[in-house]
Structure formats: structure tokens, C-alpha cells
Structure 1
Amino acid sequence: MTAIDPTLRTTRTTCPYCGVGCGVLATPDGSGGAAIAGDPEHPANFGRLCSKGSALGETVGLEGRLLYPMIRCKGVLERVAWSDALDHVAHRMQHIVARDGADAVAFYLSGQLLTEDYYVANKLMKGFVGTANVDTNSRLCMSSSVAGHRRAFGADTVPGCYEDLDKADLLVLVGSNAAWCHPILFQRMRRNKEERGARIIVIDPRRTDTASDIDLFLGVKPGTDTALFAGLFVHLADNGALDKDYIANNTSGFDDALARARSIAGSVTATALATGLSEQDVAAFFAMFRETERVVTLYSQGVNQSAQGTDKVNAILNCHLATGRIGKPGASPFSLTGQPNAMGGREVGGLANQLAAHMMFTPPEIDRVRRFWKAPRIATHEGLKAVQLFEAINRGEVKALWVMGTNPAVSLPDADIVREAMKKLELFVVSENVLSNDTVEAGPHVLLPALAWGEKSGTVTNSERRISRQRSFLPAPGEARPDWWILSEVAKRLGFREGFNYKSAAEIFREHAALSAFENDGSRDFDIGALQSVSDEAYDALVPLQWPAREGQSPGERFFANGGFFTNDGKGRFVAPDVPALRSETNAGRPLRLNTGRIRDQWHTMTRTGLSQRLGAHLPEPFVEIHPDDANKYGVVDDSFARVTTDYGQSILKVVVSERQQRGTLFVPIHWSAMNTSHGRIGALVQSFNDPFSGQPEAKATPAAIAPYEYVFRGFALSRKQLALPPHLWWARAAIGGGFGYLFADNADLSRWPAWLHDIGGEDIAEYRDFGGGVYRAASFVGDRIEACLFIGPAHDAGDWEVVKSLFAADSVSDEQRRMLLSGKSTEGVASTGPVVCACFGVGRATICDTIAAGARSAAEIGAKLKAGTNCGSCIPELKRLIAETGGAAKEAKFAGAAS
């Protein structure tokens, strides 16, 4: 009998993408990759994975990985020993703190870190270095929810859980494109609608795919969520829908909050005027909410990423407190978290205005944490939040920065200023697992190789407070190390060995759990004291569980159904929000509002998802979406190019004209960076206005202008290796089968291209030249395989990108295919399947349309034939649109044939 290789066993772990926290079964393939499947036993997903999770096995290779410590010497990064890199970081930090004080150093962390990593980072800086300048990219996605929770509940407590999505009779999604951003949860909501008849309302300036086949869509004007929920609050009060006993026994501040709501939107008519909605739609929403006991309101970045985000959150919470619909099965407000461990970061004090274990910068709690940690110089005041931090770096007040697992040169607002600020640092350290991203290109002095997903071991906490194990199933490559180990080694060199002599992630977790229970006695929401003595073996085997997990009690109790808030008086607070007003107004030069967000198959700045050819095939280019009326007004055309300009920067983007976009607004995805596009860094256009309570920047309403931008030629290049394209191009790079693909547009003379291709392509080159017609096509070969190819033409005459990609991915091409290649059209055995619609199974639009034309009349029928839409379901709205378009065309053709 052949022995089974123990390194190839299946490991239960957790997905590294959104806050749903799906369980994953990972099985190494023995060649550096892994087979990925959903874990049917994990209560977050019960075996389902979205397109990104399904493609994780394509993203775990070592190409482009940072594998060794490096220090910049005379402008050049050089490989060094770990001891030298760690000594350098500690020495420079000590020098800067001694000269300028502890507040001259800072950490910028990530929701991608595991809880144990986060814990050590916060302990080191806040407890031992003595500064709270520790913030995280989670500041950009959910800190307004944190601030709203604290104002209303006295703690950052999420009262809802995923079970509520199954039991609710009304699901209200606010500023959430859950169909794309939290698809596993959205399919759970869809099943509730189909099986129990639950109704779904979507509130969003954009008619996203989440708004497909729902009961009511409210396309509010940007920034008017507070007005809508203020109007709802007044309506509930005036129509006998209040839970007066709950209000009297468990809350405070009701009268002031209601009076403020009346001043904002005191009637259906006033609400309609404030939000831009029809009175009929406002009245319908109010009635549905009023008449439904089991209602869950789910809110995400459209609420949080606002200069009024905290007030928006509290306006929502007021309506649930007023009706007592909180913490009950099927009835609660629910913040959908964007990152995999944003919740874990909150638990350990990953935000600059928090201490560990949900404690804050009050004298009793500062002293409590100080005593537990035996901290010699604990921070006594809040640190700088993300945007403030980089402003302080730019002013020269913060001299040293350590960035861990995030890409602020892309993701922060006013990103060009951020990039320039980092170049001013005396000590700039980056812990990463990629050798190149925009932040690495900004010139860190030290690069430290961290473990990537698949190699890391620890815990994460999802949006419903559920702690899950992330387990390693691949060996650590090169000299990469866990983030907690790197931090601990620096701490020892700073003189803090006793507090950081950790041997394992399990040891850190036990300390984290012990702190949560320290002097708690139920006075704080976050308590996992039942796990403070967990053995290494039990930690390894830990099953997903919800907090609180108090010593001697069953884990996962519900919060607030019967009161029991974490305020000083134990009562939940109604909060009177300010009258809503956008921080910056549009004007003649900036007549539109720029809204940013995510697309279905990409994640953050694509350092992981950009490695997957499936994920890059749906929307391969950065784009701006605009309403047809605005497109006509400003002279831009679908599938052309346009320049989008704000007071902060500009980008050139492909144009998508869509009636699903609201008039007066533009939508642009956040994912593209200088690593994968020439002109798509949208963070450089976003204003840096912040919410005054949370510090979260406004990413949804920057005043902007749009104008057409013309290119004479378009084309694409494919290569086995990454290419340095000629200058002055518009380009976007995507992973493709067998190599790299580049879509581009050009205004230069075609004559420069043949020499460029010959430089990269070798000797066996086939060419087609029609410079008079603006066409150049060429391909180089190594044996029977295409090594590189280049197609350029006017407008859309360059060739079929999908067909050429298919030929390029082949191990060999036939003589006939080689002869036909430069036509750029389908050849025998290689037909274009069109752009990918279903990324989970790689099903293209042309294949789907053919199936519809052959008689498929529902998404279920398409799924039965092609599998499309049967995994995460995020492509189902697009399938339904194709049915409407292709099915209608088929019916017209049939009718025309009968008439003739």
C-alpha cells in the first residue's frame, strides 16, 4: 500500500476575503497550489464559496513573493539576514523615540492580519513603546459602525447574527451591494425570500445587482440616508409602532432624538424631498418597516464611508431601538464587515482610539490594561486615525512608520499625497508577502517577508462575532515568518523580552482571552474568558464559536433583546444626528459626484485576486459608470474612454453607460493600482474629508467632472512574462492562462511597435502589417507554442481578445491555427466564449447566450446546463439580464420567421 503524503491532507481553514468568514477546505496539490472547497460544516457558509474564495487555489503560488528580509542601501534594496533587519528596525525606532518622543512612531495595520498578530502589534505600541499611533485600514471600511455602536450601546457590539437572515420577514439593505460584496450572505437572504416569502428592500444611489428581483428599490440621493431613517423614526412614532415598554425600561434620549428627526424629515413629503425619492416609495418603505416585526437592517460601506457615516448608523439604530427590534431572532440592525478580520482587530484595539479587549482611553481602563500587561509606559490618550496619521507624516511630525499587510498608497484618499508623504519618513518599514505593490514602490527602508494566507495560523472573527481558526496548509516559503513573530523579535530588541517571549499563536490567543475576562464580570461585551486556558491541542482543533464565551457560560448569547447595554446606566442611547449635509458641494467645474466601490471578482488592490485568470476575465479594465443622460450631456460614449477629474487628481477610464447609475453621479471601482494599470488609481481622486466621530473618510461623494478622451488605436498584448510596455499608453494588465495579458489604447505612430515586439519576442515571428489601415498584428513562437503576441487596430479592429487568449493558453497550436492566428478571429476548435460571466465555473457570455437561444428561460435552467450561477450565485442577476436581452431577441426572430 502506498503511504499518503501527510502534507497533502485536507485542512479546515477560513477564507481571507470579506467579513462573512467562510470556512474553507484546502488540500495541497503537491506542486505549490491547492484544491479549494467550501467547508460544509462551517456555520458561516455551509459549504458555499463566492467566486473569489473558489479561486483561492490559483493565488497561492510563489511568483512575485517577498521571501527574504531586505534593507535599502544607497537607494537599492539588498537581501540581509533576519537578525540584521530586526536590529536595524529596533535601533532606528529607539533613536527616533529617544529624540522625538513615542508619538513620532506609528503602525498602520490591516484587516488581513490574524487576531494574534494584531494583539502583539497593539500591545507593543500602546503598552510598551507608549503611543496609540496604531491604526488600520479597517478605519476605511467600518469605523463609522464602531462609533455608532459605541454611541448607542456603550460598546462596539454587533447584536445581530447570520441566523437572523433566515428568520427575518423583511431585509433592508442600506449602502450594501451584498450580491457582489457578501454573496454567500445574499444568497441566504434570497433563499429566505424564495422559501419563506421574506421581502427585500435595497437603499442605494446605484441600482446594483443586489437590487435585482427585490420588493422595493430606493435610489436615494448621495448622503441622504440619515434623512430617510429620520423620517422613518418620525413615522414609527406617529403611527403607533413604538415599543414603549422597551423604550422606557431600556433606553435614554428618546425625546431629543425624535425632536431632531422631526427637524430633519418630519413627514413622508419632507423625507421624499430630502432624499430625492417619490412619496409613494417612501410611504411604501415606512409601511413595510412599520408592519413587520422581524426586520433586519443590513448596512455596509455606502453608510460607513461617509463624512456623516456615524450619524447614518445611529439614525438606523434609533429605528430599531424605538421598536425593540434588536437582538431578537430575525430582528436586529446588522453591520456587514468588509474585511476578514476587521472584527478581530476591533477586539484587540486595532483602532487608534481603542485599547485592547474593547476597552477605551478612560483612566480606569488604561490602568486595568496597564496592570494586566505589566506595561511600563502605556499610552494615555488616543492616537492618530488613518488620514490624520498620514497628514502628520507629511508634516514631518511622525518620523517612523511600519505598514503591515496593506497598501495605503492605493487605498487611502488623496493617495498621491500619501505616496509622497511616505517618502519623507526617516524609517519606513513594510511587512508584506509581495515583492511589489504601490506602497513597496514608495521606497521603504526595510522589507520584511510575512506569511501569506495558506501559511498563516491563528484566528479571525467574522461579522457575526464568530471566531474561527485560520490554519496553515502550506509550508512557510523562503524566510517568511508570522507577523506576531516579527513584532515580538523587534520588541525583544527594544528591551521588552519578558512581555513578548511568545512561542506560538496559541500562547498569544490565551493571553488575549485572559485579558478579555480580566476584571470583567459581565461589565464588558467582549469576553472569551472560557478560552483562556485552552491547550495547544484544543486551540488547533478549535471549532467556530461566537463570543461572548464567558467562563462557565454557553457561548454566543444574544445582546440587547432585554436591554443590558454597556453604557454607564445600562441603557441604550438614542442619538440625535446632525442635520445631514455633504462636506463639499458640486459646482460648474465639478458637476458630478464620484462614488467608489468594489466589483464582484476582485479584492482590494488585487495583490491576491489579480493572480487568478478567472477573476480577471469578468471586468478586466478600470472603468467609470455613468447614466445615459449624463453621458449625452458630457459627450462620452459607451466603450470609449473618458477623463475623470477631481480637485485631487485625475484618471482615464473605460466608459460604461448604464441606466442603473443615478443621474449626476459616477461610479468607479477601487481595485486598480500603478502595478496593474496606467491611469486607474482611483484613490488619488478621492477627497480626504472625514467623519468627525469615527475618522472614516468620505469615499462616496467627491465632486468630479468627466470629459471624453480619444485614442486612435486599441490593442492587446499577451506574453509568458510581464512586459514593460512602450511609454504614453493607456493600459490594464490581467492574469490569463499561461501568462499575462495587457489591454491598451494608443495615440502614437504604429511604426514603434514592430521593433518593440522584436525586442521581446525572439526570432520566430509572424507579422501582418497594414499601417495605412491602422492595423498591426504579430506573434512570436517557441516551437509550437505562442510566446508573445500583439494586436493593434483602429477602434475594435484589433482582433478577438477572447479567441487569442484561448490560443495563447494552449500548449501548442496547429499549423492551421498558426496561419489563422493573425486574423484575430475564431478558428476551427477555438471559438470565442465571450467575457466570463460566471467566474466560479469560467462560463462566458457567448456560451450563456447560445444556451438561452437554445431554449433556456431561467437562471436555474442555465445552471442545470452550464453550472453557471449554481455556486455563489453572484452572477445570477447578470444571467437574468442576458435572458431578458437574448430571450427577447430570440422571440423577435421567431416571430419574424413566422410572419414571413
Structure 2
Amino acid sequence: MFEEPMTSEGATGVETTPPRATAPTRTTCPYCGVGCGVLATPDGAGGAEIAGDPNHPANFGRLCSKGTALGETLGLDGRLLHPMRRQADGSFARVSWDSALDEIAGRLASIVARDGPDAVAFYLSGQLLTEDYYVANKLMKGFIGSANVDTNSRLCMASAVAGHKRAFGADVVPGCYEDLDLADLIVLVGSNAAWCHPVLYRRIMRNRETRGAKLVVIDTRQTASTEDADLFLQIAPGGDQALFSGLLAHLAATGAVDADFVAQHTSGFDFALDAARRLAPDAASTARLTGLAESDVSAFFALFAETPRVVTAFSQGVNQSAQGTDKTNAILNCHLATGRIGRTGAGPFSLTGQPNAMGGREVGGLANTLAAHMGFEPESIERVGRFWRAPRMATQEGLKAVQMFDAVAKGKIKALWIAGTNPAASLPDADAVREALGGLELLIVSDNVRLTDTIGGGAHILLPAQAWGEKSGTVTNSERRISRQRAFLAPPGETRPDWAIFADVGRRMGFDGFSFSSAAAVFAEHAALSAFENAGARAFDIGGLAQLSESAYAALEPTQWPVRHGEAKGRARLFAEGGFCTPARRAHFAAPATPRLAEALTPDFPLRLNTGRVRDQWHTMTRSGASVRLANHTLEPYVDIHPDDAATAHVVDNGFARVATARGACVLRVRVTARQARGQLFAPIHWTDQTAAQARIGALVGPHVDPVSGQPESKATPAAIAPHAFARQGFLLSRHPLTPPGRAWWARAAIRKGFGYLLASDADNLEWIEALRSLAPHAEAVEFCDAARGLYRAALFADDRIELLLALGPTPVSWEPWLDFFAAEHLPPGPRFAFLSQGTRAGGGDASPVVCACHNVSAAKIEAAISEGCQDATQIGAVLRAGTNCGSCLPEIRRMLAQAGRPPS
């Protein structure tokens, strides 16, 4: 039974009564910016069955592996369920909501009175709902009086935002997903969409298969997306603006420029073209600057010039750069020059990373913006202040994310409120960030998990926020489509919506304007502000939704903005006939600067470290890490390296290596692969100190930012790699989360009925058994040792159930054969020593990795299907269902077919 939420005087909008019907609830996926519709059917036990919503226009019923596994992530293990306050000894004690909120309001007011409003900051998340973002932004920028509100969207989308604003006058993606269905050429730049946006990628593949569309992929490394490309351009780090500057010069030289569109609807073309010609006047010079073959550059230029319907979709490989804004504008320039913008099947398309990065930007979630896409122009400050009746409007831009935490480190920011994100793991120079957090006078964390690297970094007050499935509001996806997230589970413990928490603090600080009764009331005010004194000047206008009743808001269908007053629906495409958001209503060509990287290579750091994502995990795994299915594709943190670089560094495939930069070091499993470019390393971002030892990749990345957008460069940090040996490797299975003993390197993954830890260690057997006994002192301990083969196993038993199971050997040891026994509540009869000594014969499980997470199909099953006669991916899908849902595993299946000698289909 969940405890009933505690209430407080004047508290509103807690919304503790969720729907109890067993019918599916239409909601929206909480992962990436595709914004897929989800049908969630509560199972009556705190969980839900999950399916794609066939009526949602973002996905038409299709979900990726992460979305499909959402039902496995709804448990309460590790949840923060009550307000907590740090005690003198560093532990946390439960407090009431009244006590926590009174303390926050009082201490914030005291700090503002003493040090001014800029001594306070909020750091928010693209995981928050628009309503959460709106109230936090209003509280800080209109009432506390500082613009020090920023978001982790700064780490993924800020350069696209800055590029759009520089070109279009507003943060507007002009196209829609349907353009991916109708384009004749799709160019993916810095995007592994096959893994990171798989539902959209399936639309691209369907277009390619049914209409013959061409696919060009531009990336620094080979990915799952490159395997389907008609042309793959493996570009040198930092070469994007040179490539698209060369393309602009080629378009002008070959008469492919739409002179009428340029003349009627743009400005600055000649200046930008001159700059492009100075940088990369032809294919040969472009090839030299980008590290590409001249023939490939010429082929790309010809394809783009000769294909009227082109969509250029770009993502983190463009954005996460010290020149990300210039890269964005180099892409936009080519579309503006050809008039391929806002037209059917044609336009630039920024693929958003987070589910509500765009919604957060709509309400001013970034430090350099005000609500409703307004900036810090005097007239906008005055307009928003009048609408809010704000007593203390911020009058200048605030600190962007990296600047904000630098100000924390210098003591300029005294109080920081972090909501729904984990900057001690995700920000660049993450060790310095964590150290800075420890010096704050007041650190407030609103989250739905009990422990993160950030909370462990020195939080003073913890506030339990509702999670996906428990709270209601809206999100906006990559194509400007507003969709509802709806509650279908009871809010556990004393959890509350984030917007209600911010509003309650606002009231306790004595501010009017925070008496919202529901998420619908927040949305209505947000929509009204978007239309306030707008008259078409700002593209973001949802005034047509400002008068929604509570019931109409509850039933709101997915809707693209703008939806102006009197309109029934929004527009799919913008700017085909001009009408940009600049004062002159013209788009602006921006001349990109000379390409450069933030840091040069040195003899000590001769390689470039690129960071990114794996297929089946999300951010720091607080949600996706709970799924056993998702864990099985990639169990541990790793580094990819080219065979030539591996030989030079003396690191070996499946061994360990220490990867170091000027900021820190990690120890990672090595994957030697020719798919990685020479001179470059790749490591995923997901592991934190809660899920691995020595694997926080954010600690390695330098805090260098784009001067326009403030977005950090996360794709090209100078790095070094060296072998790191351990005497033994293996695993530990535990019923409860723990920190493995024995001076071990470890990585945690979800397993049935517990937690699995992959281990590497130099500790001897005695150290291990003593450490295990300390974890469960009353359990029965049994050991097995085969000194000749270097094998050691130990188990702790409680009655006839395994509590802890350890296995070590000179090479990696798979836990798969043991999982059935570990998950069992009662072991079969027999001697315990014999159980340990039988080794890999136990259980007979499938020790191969999962390839298709949607349908839990392992590599061994696919290999068996191939050996039994399956000739292509379609036949494997018919037999095993693998690859028939989101399709993100299809490149891997095709590689397995190729390795077995099957011709490509």
C-alpha cells in the first residue's frame, strides 16, 4: 500500500487521484524527442502493460526498444518517496513537506536579501513537463529576479536553437516528420538515428524501400545508421561547416540557387557565399578540410544540388561542438539558398534529444530566453512583466550551464535548485562540478530517485517528484507537436508534480501568481502568454489553446504549433513563402567561422574522445537501467578503438584500458573495431558512480563551449589510452544493490530478482570471502576453488535461497548459466558445494548478448536461425520476430548474416 500524501496549508495541484480504470491511458513516451504515443494499461499491482498508440502521428503505434520496455521500469526500488533533509553526519532524515518548503522559501529569501537574486540559480531538465518548466521559469525570472535558469538541454540542443534564431529569428524547426516519408534525399549529419531515434529511422528506411529515397550519412564514425547509407561520409572531427560551406559554393557555381527565394525572403547571401568560397571553394579543397575522398564529396554535392526534395536531419554530432552554431548555420544556409525549407519533403530538421527539450524552450527554460520565445529585449521584458504582474523581472540573460557551475565553484552562486537531472555525471569536467556542489550554502534536489551522483555531491534538501506514469502535463516533440503525458498510476508516497512544488515555494516566499489549481491551469496561462501582444510577430503562438477547459485539456490531441486564436489546428510546415521572424521578415545567411576544435592534440593526449549513447539505454540509466531486457545488449561501459591505434597503445580486444584526458580518467572494457576511425575513441555516457566504478565519462570532457550557444564540446576531447590489467574477472549476483568490495572494478546491470555486477579485481580469495560475509553476516557461506584453472566461486545462502553469488576466473565469466538458480526462491535439493562446483553446466542458460531488445532475442538464437536456413532479415523476423518492431537491431542482424556468408538483401 502507498502512503497517502501529506498536505500543507494552501498546497494546490497535488493531483493525487489518478485514473483507476483498466482501459489504456493515452500518454507520451518519456525518452527521446520523437515524442511517441503510448498506450499504458495499469496491471493493478503498480505496473502497466505498454503498447504504441496507433493513432499518434509521431509513431503510428511503433515503439523503440526503450519505449517497449517502459513497463519494466515502473517499480519503486530506489525511489525518493518523502522529503528529506541532510543531517550533520551526512545522512538524510525524513521531514514533512511543510518543514522542507518553509526552509527552502526562507533560505532562498534570505540569500536574495543578502547577496542579490543572482546568488540563486535553477538547473532544470528536458525530462520535465512544460508546466513544470513554466512555473520554475516564472518564479525565478519574474519574482526572484534572476535569469539564472538553465537546463540540461544546453548540453544537447543549444547550438541548434542558436542557429535557428540566427537564421530565422526564432527557435523554429520548419518541417515535420512527414517530410521524412516524402523526401527523395535524406542527409543525416552527426546522427545515429538508427539507435537514438529509431522510430523516425524506420520511416526513413520505409521511404528508401518504397519510394527509392537516397540516404547520405555524415559522421565521424561508422554506426548502425551508416550501414544503410547510399553514401557514407566519414568526416574528420570539426569538418561539418567546411563540408556545407563547400556545398554552398557548389550550389552557387552550378546554378542550383533559388535566386527568387533568396532575393525575396533572405538577407546576407553574398557575404555568406564569399565566406564559404574562401573556406572551401570546390570539392578538392573541401575534401582536404574534411578528410574525405574528393569523389565522395563531389557525389554528395551532386546529389544535393540535383534533388529538389532534400531533408537534412542533424543532431548531437553537430550540436555538441565548440562551433555547433556555425555548423547548424552552414546547414541552414544550403537550404535557404535552394529555397528548400518548409516545403513538402524538404527542409533542415533538428532531431531533438530529450522528450521535452522544445517545450522547455517554449517557456524560457534557457538562461538567455524569456517565456513564449521572447528574449531580453527591453520591450519583451516589459511585456512579460506586465503579463505576470511580476515585481522583480530579470533584466539580462542569466548564466548558461557551464558558466552556472563555474559560478558555483567560485562562490558567486550560493543556492542552487536542481530538478530532474544529474549534472555531477552529465556536465563536462564532472569531477569539478561535483566538488563545486559540495561548497553550496543550499543545494535543493527535486527528483524521483533516492541517490544520484548529484545528490551524493552534497544536497541539503531532497524533494520527491512524481515520475512518468504518475504526473500529467504536456511535452513538445521535434516537429513542434504538443502531446499530453497523462497519469495512469497512483503517485507513491508523498511525491508531487514539479510545477506544484515550485508554485508552493513561490507562495511561501509571499509572491502572488502561483495559485495554480492544476496542470491545465498552468498550461492555460502559458498559452495565453504566447499570444499576448503577439499579432504574428512570434512564430510560437498557441493562443488557440488558451481557453481549454479542464476536460478539453484532459482530452487534448497531439497538436503542432502555431495554433493562433481562432484556429482549430496548427501548421505542419513554416517559411515556404518566407515570413520569417526577424524584424524585416527575412531569413539571414550566417557566415560560419573557420573550422577549429576547442583543444589541440598533444603528445600526451594524441587521440580524440567522442562520447555518445548506446542503443538501449537513456542518459544516466535511472529509468532504463531498471529493465533486464535493455541491460542485456550492453552490460558494461566500454571504449571503441581502431585496430591500428590499439596496436600502438598495446590494448587488446575485451581487455581493459585506462582512458585519460586533462580532466580525469576512466577504466573501460576495450572493443577493438575497424568501425572506429583511426585517431579516435568512442565511449558511451550512461554510467555513473551508482552503476559502475571509474566510468563517469563526463569527468573526462573539457568545459569548452560554443561562444554563441554555450553548448559544450563533447565529441573531440584530446585523450590517451593505456592497458590496465586485472588478475581476475567475473561477476557478483546480489539480492540488493551494493558497492562491490575487494578493490574491484565493477559495472551493475539489472537481472531478475536482483542486481548483477560484472567484476575485475586483484583481490585474493580470502579478501573476497571476508567481504562477502560482512555483507550478509548471518548467511551460510560456501566456497569452491580450482587453483589449477584459477577459478573461484563463493555463495551465501539463506535457507535454500542464494543471497550472494560470486564467480571469478582469469578470463571473463558469464553469469547467464546461473541466473535461473539465483532467481529461484528455492534451490533444488543437493549439496551446496556440488552446486558451486558444477560451474557453467548449471542452468544451461543462453550466455549470448541480446540483439533484439524489443522481443528479447539473443545472438545465439539468431545464429541458430541463420544456420537453419534463414537467408535475410525478413526471414529471421518471421521466425523470431527480431527486427519487426523498432528495427534498431536490423543493422546488427544484417552484419550477422554477412558474417555467415549470406548475400545482402
Give the TM-score band, short-chain normalised: over 0.9
Q: CA deviation at 1:284?
A: 0.5
Determine the C-alpha separation between the residues in 1 that align with 2:290 and 2:326: 16
Which of 200, 203, 211 is the matching residue for 2:215?
200
Which of 417, 424, 427 is the matching residue for 2:442?
427
Which of 351, 376, 379 is the matching residue for 1:336?
351
Residues 1:242 and 2:242 are matched in the alignment: no
Q: Which amino acid aligns with 2:141?
A: K
Determine the C-alpha separation between the residues in 2 that align with 1:815 and 1:137: 53
Which of 18, 22, 29 is the matching residue for 1:15?
29
Q: Which amino acid aligns with 1:378?
A: M
Alignment of 1:642-657 (within 5 A): 642-657=657-672
Determine the C-alpha separation between the residues in 1 that align with 2:461 and 2:827: 46
SS in 2 for 1:716: strand
Which of 76, 86, 101 is the matching residue for 1:62?
76
Which of 781, 788, 791 is the matching residue for 2:807?
791
Alignment of 1:391-540 (within 5 A): 391-496=406-511, 498-540=512-554
SS in 2 for 1:499: coil
Q: CA deviation at 1:422?
A: 0.6
Conserved 8 A contact 1:852-1:887: no
Residues 1:637 and 2:661 are matched in the alignment: no
In structure 2, relative to structure 1, the CA distance for the partners of 1:556 and 1:485 (3 Å cut) is same
Conserved 8 A contact 2:815-2:847: no
In structure 2, relative to structure 1, the CA distance for the partners of 1:468 and 1:888 (3 Å cut) is closer
CA deviation map 1:84-140 (0-9, x unaligned): 100100111011100100000000000000000000000000011100000000000
Determine the C-alpha separation between the residues in 1 that align with 2:295 and 2:125: 43
Determine the C-alpha separation between the residues in 2 that align with 1:595 and 1:288: 29
Q: CA deviation at 1:839?
A: 0.8
SS in 1 for 2:523: helix
CA deviation map 1:299-338 (0-9, x unaligned): 0000000000000000000000000000001000000000
Determine the C-alpha separation between the residues in 2 that align with 1:888 and 1:810: 40
Conserved 8 A contact 1:857-1:887: no
CA deviation map 1:399-458 (0-9, x unaligned): 000000000000000000000001111111000110011011012111000001110100
**Which 10-residue stretch deviates more, 737-746 or 64-73?**
64-73
SS in 2 for 1:700: coil
* Corresponding residue of 1:775: 791
Q: CA deviation at 1:772?
A: 5.2
Alignment of 1:640-719 (within 5 A): 640-719=655-734
Q: CA deviation at 1:784?
A: 4.6
Q: CA deviation at 1:885?
A: 1.6
In structure 2, relative to structure 1, the CA distance for the partners of 1:278 and 1:459 (3 Å cut) is same
Conserved 8 A contact 2:408-2:414: yes
Determine the C-alpha separation between the residues in 2 that align with 1:116 and 1:107: 15
SS in 2 for 1:43: coil
SS in 2 for 1:8: coil
Which of 349, 367, 374 is the matching residue for 2:364?
349
* Corresponding residue of 1:802: 816
SS in 1 for 2:365: coil
Which of 59, 66, 72 is the matching residue for 2:86?
72
Conserved 8 A contact 1:625-1:661: yes
In structure 2, relative to structure 1, the CA distance for the partners of 1:640 and 1:237 (3 Å cut) is same
Determine the C-alpha separation between the residues in 1 that align with 2:274 and 2:211: 37
Which of 285, 297, 312 is the matching residue for 1:297?
312
TM-score with structure 1 setting the length: 0.96
SS in 1 for 2:40: strand
* Corresponding residue of 1:896: none
Determine the C-alpha separation between the residues in 1 that align with 2:124 and 2:375: 19
Q: Which amino acid aligns with 1:787?
A: E
- Structure 2 residues without counterparts, runs of 5 or longer: 1-18
Conserved 8 A contact 1:590-1:703: yes
TM-score with structure 2 setting the length: 0.96
Determine the C-alpha separation between the residues in 1 that align with 2:739 and 2:85: 26
Which of 31, 48, 65 is the matching residue for 2:45?
31
Identity %: 62
Conserved 8 A contact 2:705-2:713: yes
* Corresponding residue of 2:15: none
Determine the C-alpha separation between the residues in 1 that align with 2:522 and 2:673: 50
SS in 2 for 1:689: coil
Q: Which amino acid aligns with 1:789?
A: L
Q: CA deviation at 1:556?
A: 2.6
Determine the C-alpha separation between the residues in 1 that align with 2:739 and 2:282: 60
* Corresponding residue of 2:303: 288
Determine the C-alpha separation between the residues in 2 that align with 1:534 and 1:597: 40
Residues 1:834 and 2:848 are matched in the alignment: yes
Conserved 8 A contact 2:612-2:685: yes
Q: Which amino acid aligns with 2:682?
A: F
Q: Which amino acid aligns with 1:478?
A: G
Conserved 8 A contact 2:124-2:421: yes
Conserved 8 A contact 1:116-1:508: yes
Which of 122, 125, 136 is the matching residue for 1:107?
122
Determine the C-alpha separation between the residues in 1 that align with 2:899 and 2:780: 44
CA deviation map 1:186-223 (0-9, x unaligned): 01100000010001000000110011122000000001
* Corresponding residue of 2:600: 585
Conserved 8 A contact 2:543-2:565: yes
Determine the C-alpha separation between the residues in 2 that align with 1:220 and 1:508: 45
Residues 1:547 and 2:558 are matched in the alignment: no
Residues 1:268 and 2:283 are matched in the alignment: yes
Conserved 8 A contact 1:676-1:733: yes
Determine the C-alpha separation between the residues in 1 that align with 2:119 and 2:705: 22
Conserved 8 A contact 2:818-2:845: no
Q: CA deviation at 1:665?
A: 0.4
Determine the C-alpha separation between the residues in 2 that align with 1:722 and 1:548: 47
CA deviation map 1:27-75 (0-9, x unaligned): 1111111111111110001111111111111111111111111112313
CA deviation map 1:522-567 (0-9, x unaligned): 1100000001110000000001010000112343322110100000
* Corresponding residue of 1:169: 184
Conserved 8 A contact 1:802-1:835: no
Conserved 8 A contact 1:826-1:832: no
Determine the C-alpha separation between the residues in 2 that align with 1:810 and 1:158: 52
Give the CA RMSD over aligned residues. Answer: 1.4
SS in 2 for 1:539: helix
Determine the C-alpha separation between the residues in 2 that align with 1:600 and 1:804: 26
Q: Aligned residue pairs: how many?
A: 881
Q: CA deviation at 1:720?
A: 1.2
Q: Which amino acid aligns with 1:880?
A: R
Conserved 8 A contact 1:777-1:792: yes
Alignment of 1:575-614 (within 5 A): 575-614=590-629
Q: CA deviation at 1:263?
A: 1.1
- Structure 1 residues without counterparts, runs of 5 or longer: 890-900
Q: CA deviation at 1:750?
A: 2.5
CA deviation map 1:860-900 (0-9, x unaligned): 111111111111110110111111123469xxxxxxxxxxx
Determine the C-alpha separation between the residues in 1 that align with 2:127 and 2:826: 40
Q: Which amino acid aligns with 1:778?
A: A
Which of 743, 746, 749 is the matching residue for 1:731?
746
